[in-house]
Structure 1
Amino acid sequence: MGQIIASIDSPPETSVRDPRTGASVRLWLYGLAVLVMVMVAVGGATRLTGSGLSITEWKPVTGAIPPLSDAGWAAEFEKYRASSQYQNLNRGMALGEFKVIYWWEWSHRQLGRFLGFYFFLPLVWFWWRGNVSSRLALTLVGIGALGGLQAMVGWIMVASGLEPGMTAVAPIKLMLHLVIASMILAAIVWVAAGLRAGEGRAMPVSPGLARAAVALVALILVQIALGGLVAGSRAGWTYNTWPLMDGHLVPPAAMLFSGQPWIENFADNPILVQFNHRLVAYLLVAAALWHAYATRRTEGGAMRAGAVAGLTLAQAGLGIVTLLLVVPLWAGLAHQLLAMVLLMVATHHARLCRAA
């Protein structure tokens, strides 16, 4: 993400011609960020409802059209019935039940198509009108390319769940899909906040605190990645107590590294996956609280850092509730969505901290 966003750290007055067009570009970018958040939320619902493998083909163009007849629905259902997920988990599912999971996955893919149009059409318009510099436009094209990569990774992820014997997608690929989405979101917010900084509204802090704010964003991304592994390995459905795990504050090494080779435990062992997510959560809360305390006397930065710390505490609390309730749909979605909000706020704060 750093390479994508580094190119816009120069004075933003070269990126837009006047404050009015700058405000329009910024509004478009924040709208794009909201759409990415919605996309992540729908993706989370698709995962939690077990809908991600309901569409067994990747058709970027013709796949936008859902079945329009009984014969079309029967054909789609027959493709799903050939999958291991149906054979091993959903055998006997009725067509009406299939339609529910189909619409979740179709909506996720359709939203991705809409997001692509929302991104590229205004970008071409703003670039043609001269509202953005070539440098900023190329940076945005880079973010768009990352979006294209995200779509391909999404299909690779789904394909991993359609392999013989698989009833869910591979945890590593689910994690990668979520991390790329998070990087796209952070990059968009970084760009938008940079335009705001260029209008003279940012209040910079010391270089050390600015670096700490960026490090906090990086730590949030690490925690989101670990959350993706928790989701992929269904680690949240096990050891549903807190602060202990199976009566241990720190589970024995024999439990944490029970699989062979040992490196695979970090992705496939639900005990170690959940334990790592807990550890980084504690570290993230401590780092956010320290940063808020260290920034308390800076003008502007104190309020933003306080918001990051408050959201971090709320996210940790929601994570505990989600675990104790064994991941009900509403809690799982809220936990994932709040993670995106936290990432947005922390990225916005970090960018304004670096304003010259």
Structure 2
Amino acid sequence: MALDLPATPPADVVSSTADRLRPVRLWLYAVAAMIVLMVVVGGATRLTESGLSITEWKPVAGTLPPLSDAAWQAEFDKYRQIPQYQQVNRGMSLDEFKYIFWWEWGHRLLGRLIGFVFLLPFLFFLWRGLIDRALGWKLSGLFVLGGMQGAVGWWMVASGLVNRVDVSQYRLATHLTLACFILAATVAVAVSLKAPAERRPSPDWLRGYARILFAVVALQIFLGGLVAGLDAGLTYTTWPLMDGHIIPPAADLFVQQPVWRNFFENVLTVQFNHRLVAYLLLALALGHWLSARRVGGAVRRRATLILGLVWAQAFLGVWTLVHQVPIDIALAHQFGATLVLIAVTVNLVRLHEDA
């Protein structure tokens, strides 16, 4: 997941426009907060197995929930036609269906609200002349990505309506990763609209280190999506060993053919890779912190925050695993991933500005 960093104008120019662009920054931060909420609600929708409860994609007509007993029964009848009901939830009552329906409906409604919260202020700021051409193109790109995310969400749901009782892990990981890319891009644009309180020249290698850190966080989020899609967190629920091994036998890691499928479809391999990248991320965060100490100031403070968040996220990951994915801890783990992503994004933007 590469991040196209905003071009950095001279510090005096940024400072002179900071107050004028404050409403734009606050709006983008509000959008980012809503995206974080969307990621968490999406996680809850998955963990409650609610994602297939709405079997149609109606971007406009689907805004309203069923408003009568007959409408509820019609929705329930549609759900009873898919494999998940027939093979997993047969005998589910209408009230039980309503519970999972409300999760999926709320997730979709929040997506629509984000679209409106983005588009209407965007048009207003354009009208007021607060957004120049360059910023306008960036924000337009974010809006297009948001629309794509809705389509990807339906593409994911559609994978579970025929011949499956759940959604494709490939599509779930894509949906999660795209959401996090939109979050990172939104934060990057918002942060770039205000000059930092202090500037400290940072070496090129530290910026390179920050890019690697960002890339590994993005990879870990994608792997987390695969773990979620395969319910891999419900197996091998011990730590630090996996089925009695630090490194599982190669015969188990690469049992599927062709070999590449193991990295996406083998529960053992997918969970092992998620653990392995977590260890790598811990080491990178520590190395980044040790390097940033030489620069000091805000650079060191950001590195300290990143290190703390990564360690907390690792703890939540282990806790989620050994307790077999309780919803509250699992959602805290997913929320933690967004905080780590935001922290490494802000760090990357600020180091880019210090070049």
Category of TM-score, reference length = shorter chain: over 0.9
Q: CA deviation at 1:258?
A: 1.4
For residues 16 and 183 of structure 1, the distance between their equivalents in structure 2, rounded to whole angstroms, comes to: 27
CA deviation string 1:163-211 (max 9, x = no partner): 12x01000000000000001001001111111123x6645452222122
Change (3 A) 1:22 1:78: same
Alignment of 1:141-180 (within 5 A): 141-164=140-163, 166-180=164-178
Name the counterpart of 1:286: 283
2:307 to 291, 302, 309: 309
Name the counterpart of 2:132: 133
Name the counterpart of 1:320: 318
Name the counterpart of 2:183: 185
Identity of aligned residues (%): 51
- Contact kept? 2:313, 2:333, Cα under 8 Å: yes
What amino acid does structure 2 have at the position aligned with 1:345? Answer: A
For residues 127 and 94 of structure 2, the distance between their equivalents in structure 1, rounded to whole angstroms, comes to: 48
Alignment of 1:253 onto 2:262: no
Name the counterpart of 1:329: 327
For residues 211 and 298 of structure 2, the distance between their equivalents in structure 1, rounded to whole angstroms, comes to: 16
CA deviation string 1:215-256 (max 9, x = no partner): 211110000000000000111000000111000111011111
Name the counterpart of 2:57: 58
Q: Is the partner of 1:246 in helix, strand or coil?
A: coil
Name the counterpart of 2:214: 217
Name the counterpart of 1:18: 17
- Contact kept? 2:15, 2:194, Cα under 8 Å: no
For residues 22 and 203 of structure 2, the distance between their equivalents in structure 1, rounded to whole angstroms, comes to: 27
CA deviation string 1:49-95 (max 9, x = no partner): 00000000000000001100000000000000001000010000000
Q: CA deviation at 1:127?
A: 1.5
1:353 to 335, 351, 354: 351
Name the counterpart of 2:85: 86
The number of residues matched between the two structures is 353
2:233 to 231, 236, 243: 236
For residues 333 and 201 of structure 2, the distance between their equivalents in structure 1, rounded to whole angstroms, comes to: 31
For residues 264 and 161 of structure 1, the distance between their equivalents in structure 2, rounded to whole angstroms, comes to: 20
What amino acid does structure 1 have at the position aligned with 2:125? Answer: F
What amino acid does structure 2 have at the position aligned with 1:333? Answer: L
What amino acid does structure 2 have at the position aligned with 1:145? Answer: V
What amino acid does structure 2 have at the position aligned with 1:261? Answer: P
For residues 176 and 41 of structure 2, the distance between their equivalents in structure 1, rounded to whole angstroms, comes to: 12
Gaps in structure 2 of 5+ consecutive residues: none
Q: CA deviation at 1:212?
A: 1.2
Change (3 A) 1:7 1:193: closer
For residues 11 and 163 of structure 1, the distance between their equivalents in structure 2, rounded to whole angstroms, comes to: 55
For residues 78 and 142 of structure 1, the distance between their equivalents in structure 2, rounded to whole angstroms, comes to: 39
Q: CA deviation at 1:19?
A: 2.4
Q: CA deviation at 1:137?
A: 1.0
For residues 94 and 206 of structure 1, the distance between their equivalents in structure 2, rounded to whole angstroms, comes to: 62
For residues 87 and 234 of structure 1, the distance between their equivalents in structure 2, rounded to whole angstroms, comes to: 20
Q: TM-score of the superposition, structure 2-length normalised?
A: 0.96
- Contact kept? 1:158, 1:169, Cα under 8 Å: yes
Q: CA deviation at 1:13?
A: 7.2
Q: CA deviation at 1:124?
A: 1.1
CA deviation string 1:321-351 (max 9, x = no partner): 1000000000110100000011011111111
Alignment of 1:274 onto 2:274: no
Gaps in structure 1 of 5+ consecutive residues: none
- Contact kept? 1:214, 1:347, Cα under 8 Å: no
What amino acid does structure 1 have at the position aligned with 2:114? Answer: L
- Contact kept? 1:17, 1:132, Cα under 8 Å: no
For residues 193 and 246 of structure 1, the distance between their equivalents in structure 2, rounded to whole angstroms, comes to: 44
